[in-house]
C-alpha cells in the first residue's frame, strides 16, 4: 500500500520547507539557517523539515542539533539510505504548511527563489516547478558536459516514455499547495532519482494546474548525483513508472491498487 499524506489541518502553518539530506555535513547548517532567515525576513509562519536519509558523515547529528537550537526546525531520521525520492516523500508527508516546498541541501536553487512560488500559487497554481531551461533562468555555474548530456538524455527519455510536458524534470525545486501534496504524494512510490518524473506524471494524470518558473541555479561540484552510476537505475525506474501508468496506478484512486 502506498504511503498516504496525514491530515494536519488543526496545526496547519503558512510554509513548510523540506530539505532532503544525504551526507550533506558540509552544507546542511548553512541551508537550514538560510531557510530560517527567509522565513524571518518575510515574517512568514513556517517550518524547516530536514530528512536525514541514512547519512554516514554526521549529517543526522547536525540536523538534530539544529532542531534543538531552533523551534521551527524539525529533524526526521532514516537509519539507512532509501533514496532522495523516499526522503522527499517522508518530509512532505509530515509537513504542516499550506504551501510545501522542497529544495536541495546544497542550495543549488537558493531559498529566495520561493519568492517566485508564492505569487504563482496565489494566482491559482497547484504545483510549481523550477526550470533551468527557460530563457529567464539564471545559471550561475553550469554543469560539466557529461552531466549536461546525461540530464538532457534523461529529459528526452522521460518525455518519450511518459509523455511529460515539463521543460525541466529534474530540478530539485518544487512546490505544492497542501491539498495537492496530499493527492500527489499519496500516489508516489519511486524512491530513487526518477521520483521527479513520477511526481510530474501524477500531476499531469490528475489534471492539476502546474506552473513552471525560471530559477537561479548553480551546479555544485560535490553533488550526490553520479550520472553514469545513476543512469541504469533511472532507466529501470522510468520503465516501472510507465508500467504503473499503463496499469492505472496514477489515476484518482490508483493508490488503492498499489502494492
258: pLDDT strictly greater than 50: no
Question: Furthest-apart CA pair in the chain: how many Å?
Answer: 48
**What are the C-alpha distances in Å from 70 to residues 49, 52, 64?**
11, 17, 10
H or E stretch covering 218? strand 216-218
Query: Residue 144: helix, strand or coil by DSSP?
Result: coil
In a domain? residue 27: yes
In a domain? residue 1: no
In a domain? residue 4: no
In a domain? residue 196: yes
Its domain, for residue 209, covers 9-257
In a domain? residue 3: no
191: pLDDT strictly greater than 50: yes
pLDDT in tens, 148-186: 777 778 888 899 999 999 999 999 999 999 999 999 999
pLDDT in tens, 29-56: 999 999 999 999 999 999 999 999 999 9
In a domain? residue 152: yes
| CATH code of 169's domain | 3.90.550.10
In a domain? residue 239: yes
Determine how β-strand 46-53 pairs with β-strand 73-78: parallel
Predicted confidence at residue 139, as pLDDT, reads 82
Q: Which of 53-67, 93-107, 140-154, 184-198 has the lowest mean pLDDT?
A: 140-154
10: pLDDT strictly greater than 50: no
What mean pLDDT, rounded, does the chain reach? 89
In a domain? residue 219: yes
Name the domain count of the chain.
Answer: 1
Amino acid at each position: 500500500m502506498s504511503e498516504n499524506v496525514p491530515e494536519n489541518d488543526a496545526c496547519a502553518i503558512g510554509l513548510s520547507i523540506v530539505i532532503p539530506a544525504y551526507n550533506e555535513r558540509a552544507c546542511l547548517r548553512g541551508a537550514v539557517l538560510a531557510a530560517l532567515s527567509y522565513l524571518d525576513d518575510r515574517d512568514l509562519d513556517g517550518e524547516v523539515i530536514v530528512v536525514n536519509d541514512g547519512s554516514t558523515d554526521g549529517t543526522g547529528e547536525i540536523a538534530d542539533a539544529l532542531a534543538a537550537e531552533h523551534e521551527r526546525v524539525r529533524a526526521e531520521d532514516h537509519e539507512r539510505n532509501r533514496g532522495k525520492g523516499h526522503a522527499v516523500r517522508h518530509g512532505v508527508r509530515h509537513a504542516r504548511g499550506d504551501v510545501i516546498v522542497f529544495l536541495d541541501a546544497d542550495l543549488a536553487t537558493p531559498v529566495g527563489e520561493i519568492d517566485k512560488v508564492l505569487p504563482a500559487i496565489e494566482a491559482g497554481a497547484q504545483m510549481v516547478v523550477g526550470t533551468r531551461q527557460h530563457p529567464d533562468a539564471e545559471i550561475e555555474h553550469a554543469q560539466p558536459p557529461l552531466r549536461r548530456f546525461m540530464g538532457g538524455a534523461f529529459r528526452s527519455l522521460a518525455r518519450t516514455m511518459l509523455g511529460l510536458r515539463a521543460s525541466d524534470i529534474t530540478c530539485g525545486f518544487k512546490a505544492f499547495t497542501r491539498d495537492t501534496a496530499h493527492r500527489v504524494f499519496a500516489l508516489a512510490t519511486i524512491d530513487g532519482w526518477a521520483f521527479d518524473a513520477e511526481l510530474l506524471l501524477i500531476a499531469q494524470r490528475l489534471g492539476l494546474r502546474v506552473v513552471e518558473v525560471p530559477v537561479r541555479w548553480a551546479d555544485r561540484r560535490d553533488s550526490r548525483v553520479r550520472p553514469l552510476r545513476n543512469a541504469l537505475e533511472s532507466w529501470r525506474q522510468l520503465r516501472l513508472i510507465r508500467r504503473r501508468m499503463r496499469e492505472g496506478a496514477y489515476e484518482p484512486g490508483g493508490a488503492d491498487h498499489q502494492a
